[in-house]
Structure 1
Amino acid sequence: MATTTHLHLLTPTPPRIRPRRRGAMSVTVRSSLIDPDGGALVDLVSPPERRAALRAEAEALPKVRLAAVDVEWAHVLAEGWASPLRGFMREDEYLQSLHFNCIRLPDGKGVVNMSLPIVLAIGDRDKEEIGDRPDVALQGPDGGVLAILRSVYNYENYYWIEHGSFRIGMTSTWEICSLLSRIGDDLHVSDDEAIAQAGNWLIGGDLEVIEPIKYNDGLDHYRLSPQQLRNEFDKRGADAVFAFQLRNPVHNGHALLMNDTRRRLLEMGYKNPILLLHPLGGFTKADDVPLPVRMEQHSKVLEDGVLDPETTIVSIFPSPMHYAGPTEVQWHAKARINAGANFYIVGRDPAGMGHPTEKRDLYNPDHGKKVLSMAPGLEKLNILPFKVAAYDTVAKKMAFFDPSRSKDFLFISGTKMRAFAKSGENPPDGFMCPGGWKVLVDYYNSLQTEEAAVASV
């Protein structure tokens, strides 16, 4: 499964420092760690003095209502995680992303990785209302206007029409979100109704977000933009940043990996490598631990001293999850380039999920890390080779696996970890810090209490 104690790292080349380049609508990047894709960090949020005029303009425009996951993608685009992309993809960008996993730079010189299409699907009625209007107002789920999409280009959602089926690993979020709930039960993913929900048309254009997107869930202070992260790295004097994404609680095997990565970077000559602990904060499957619980657990890991707060930045990555395996892990790595990370940790079966009908991983668990080392457009990102971590039953702690005494090691998957917490059974001592484990147990106890209350009604 996607989260286990089998953790790896691998790298092609040492980092290089390149001169900064600037372009229109760009943000000055002071960090010397790594260039953003395209040389300039995209910022699509309008300045405060333009916001009243944009809201007034939006009143007269045709409107498209965004789903919650579309808002997450607008957030991703607005802050420059997908630099140099400047809005939802037009057809040429969509085709490049879908078939080549990369897009050409605006000047035509070179390509950047873009393995997941970021598109906006609309229905027939929306298309009729837009007509030949060049600009469209985008509303949030509550009806409030979030953005204006300019120089709109609409095109047929022919991927569904031509294929009529779901191809996991080659999808965009509008596909997976309309179908993912069905995958857990069966493989009826070419159902006509589900396909129709995706919308018959896609619209792309240049995005202008009226103000920073907030969720008002008590976690917005964790949602640092790529520019804010670069500023923080500069403030801390980082000469290397290594990013670690996860969508599950942090156990001591993860911590061992992160702490040892810092040790290795120090041995390589870096003076102050900083860890970016960067949990995914967008759409996830219903059985994943919810974001608020994960963030509380992560804070306990720092409070208990498992990770050093002085050399660790905890921030939320706002992207939705596709569970698209080796295709998606490229997106996760590419986005961290734009945030300034020049090292990326990749684990076993990144962005993976269990097969819906068989007891096995849906993707080959080693393909993610192999693809990252070969993916076009990711050459400037460094990934370090690493060993496997597991629970050492002799030392009573998480340790790097020693094949000479393999019988002494216990591999505890994310699924098994959650089963411990649900049943109230404690994991072996040294598997997770006590404060972090209590957060998980309390969460699953609350679920059981809710289920019992519903059953009694």
Structure 2
Amino acid sequence: MGGKVTGLALPKRVFPCATPAEVRETLPPNADVVAFQCRNPIHRAHYELFTRALDAENVKDECVCLVHPTCGPTQGDDIPGIVRYQTYEVLAKEVDNPKIRWAYLPYSMHMAGPREAIQHMIIRKNYGASHFIIGRDMAGSKSSISGEDFYGAYDAQDLAKANAAELNMDTVPSLNIVYTEEKGYVTADVAEKDGLEVMKLSGTKFRKMLRGGEDIPEWFAFKSVIEVLREAS
């Protein structure tokens, strides 16, 4: 069998998923596009991370960030995709940042480590990205027996850098952002150098506070995102 392949219809989903061509149409021509991948609701540290990525040395002044979360089914204890989508939508309205573009990817994480990080780069290139933020232990997983990480913390970054030229994309390292009482959000090395007090809130503690109806510190999470998560719980 052979011949021209013609699509009949796009899949229908509970959240909108623009095609690569549709997303590319929304991006400014000749600008650097820095893609950010996530599979969880975006909190303030994430926002600081991807907005500061636009100031990276290898990113032009004319640039935007494409926030492109995966909204398909992921791990069993993750927040449902439709709820995650709703948190992104309210956050987009709250921050109203012209340097950010939002789109959603119908993809399920495989937790396959560095090779999956490369796959994410290729996917985002199809959507118009020129740069991709690589996080620490991106798409990593742990042994169900020992609890040990399968991959090294920076294996994904190293593999991405090694293949960046072939993919014709640049990588942007994920900054280690922390919140301090004195200066707000700074990088961890600055906090250590200046002797600043770092504020911490673990994911376990956050989820407990969320379920218990406790006030979530505004330095940690956006109010609009918290409201969506509480309504869904």
- Give the superposition deviation at 1:428: 3.0
Cα gap change, 1:348 to 1:302, in 2 (>3 Å):
same
1:328-375 residue CA offsets vs partner (Å, 9 max, x unmatched): 111001111111100101112211234323444343222111211113
Name the counterpart of 1:227.
Answer: 21
Q: Which of residues 330, 344, 349 is equivalent to 2:132?
A: 344
Secondary structure of 2:107's counterpart equals coil
Aligned positions of 1:321-336 closer than 5 A: 321-336=109-124
Specify the alignment match of 1:283 in structure 2: 73
Q: Which residue of 2 aligns with 1:299?
A: 89
Distance 1:270 1:328 in 2: 29
1:432 aligns with 2:221: yes
Task: Give the TM-score, by structure 2 length.
Answer: 0.85
Residue aligned with 1:383, SS: strand
Q: In the TM superposition, what whole-angstrom CA distance separates every residue of 1:422-448 from its partner, at most 9, and x where no partner exists? A: 34333433111111122122222xxxx
Whole-Å Cα distance in 2 between the matches of residues 421 and 357 of structure 1? 30
Q: Partner letter of residue 46 of structure 2?
A: H
1:368 counterpart residue number: 156
Task: Give the 3 Å change call, closer, same or farther, for CA 406–355 of structure 1 in structure 2.
Answer: farther
**SS of the residue aligned with 2:66?**
strand
1:353 aligns with 2:141: yes
Q: Which moved more, 1:246-255 or 1:371-380?
A: 371-380
Amino acid at match of 1:304: E
Offset from partner CA, 1:245-266 (integer Å, 9 cap, x none): 100011111111122122447x
Q: 1:384 to 1:366 in 2, by over 3 A?
A: same
Residue 276 of structure 1, CA deviation: 0.7
Summarize the Cα distance change of 1:378–1:334 in structure 2 as closer, same or farther, 3 Å threshold. Answer: farther
Q: Is the 8 A contact 1:238 1:274 kept in 2?
A: no
| 1:262 corresponding residue in structure 2 | 54
Q: Unaligned stretches of 5+ in structure 2? A: none
Deviation string, structure 1 residues 391-430 (Cα, Å, up to 9, x no partner): 22444x4332122256722454545543432343334331
Closer/same/farther in 2, CA of residues 324 and 413 from structure 1, 3 Å limit: farther
Q: Which moved further from structure 2: 246-255 or 435-444?
A: 435-444
- Give 1:274's match in structure 2, choosing from 55, 61, 64: 64
Aligned with residue 176 of structure 2, among 385, 388, 413: 388
Check the 8 A contact 2:133/2:174 in 1, yes or no.
Answer: no
Alignment partner, residue 230 of structure 2: 441
User: Contact 1:245/1:279 (CA < 8 Å) preserved in 2?
Assistant: yes
Within 5 Å, give how 1:72-111 maps onto structure 2: none
Return the offset for 1:213: 1.8
Deviation at 1:230, TM superposition (A): 1.3
| Structure 2 residue corresponding to 1:251, chosen from 18, 21, 43 | 43
- Provide the C-alpha distance between the structure 2 equivalents of 1:237 and 1:332, rounded to a whole number of angstroms: 22
Assess if the C-alpha contact under 8 Å between 2:73 and 2:81 holds in 1: no
Change (3 A) 1:362 1:437: farther
Deviations 1:292-324 (A, max 9, x none): 11111112222222x60x222211112222111
Match for 2:8 among 210, 226, 230? 210
Q: TM-score, normalised on structure 1?
A: 0.46
Matched AA of 2:43: H
CA distance in 2, matches of 1:394, 1:424: 28
Q: Aligned partners of 2:202, 2:85: CA distance in 1, in Å?
A: 20
Q: Is the contact made by 1:372 and 1:378 (CA closer than 8 Å) also made in structure 2?
A: no
Larger radius of gyration: 1
SS across alignment from 2:185? strand
Preserved CA contact (<8 Å) 1:282 1:317: yes
Are 1:391 and 1:412, in contact at CA under 8 Å, matched by a contact in 2?
Answer: no
Alpha-carbon distance in structure 2 between the residues aligned to 1:379 and 1:350: 18
Aligned length in residues: 231
Task: After superposing the two structures, state which structure 1 stretch, 407-416 or 383-392, moved more.
Answer: 407-416
Aligned to 2:32: 240
Is the alpha carbon distance of 1:406 and 1:293 closer, same or farther for their aligned partners in structure 2, counting shifts above 3 Å?
A: farther
Residue 434 to residue 366, structure 1, CA distance change in 2 (3 Å): same
The one-letter code of the counterpart of 1:322 is H
CA contact (8 A) 1:274 1:312 kept: yes
Determine the structure 2 residue equivalent to 1:175.
Answer: none
> CA contact under 8 A between 1:253 and 1:399: conserved in structure 2?
no
Q: Secondary structure at the match of 1:345?
A: strand
Q: 1:245 to 1:321 in 2, by over 3 A?
A: same
Q: Give the gaps of 5 or more residues in structure 1.
A: 1-133, 135-149, 152-205, 445-457
Kindly indicate whether the alpha-carbon contact (under 8 Å) linking 2:141 and 2:150 is maintained by their aligned counterparts in 1.
yes
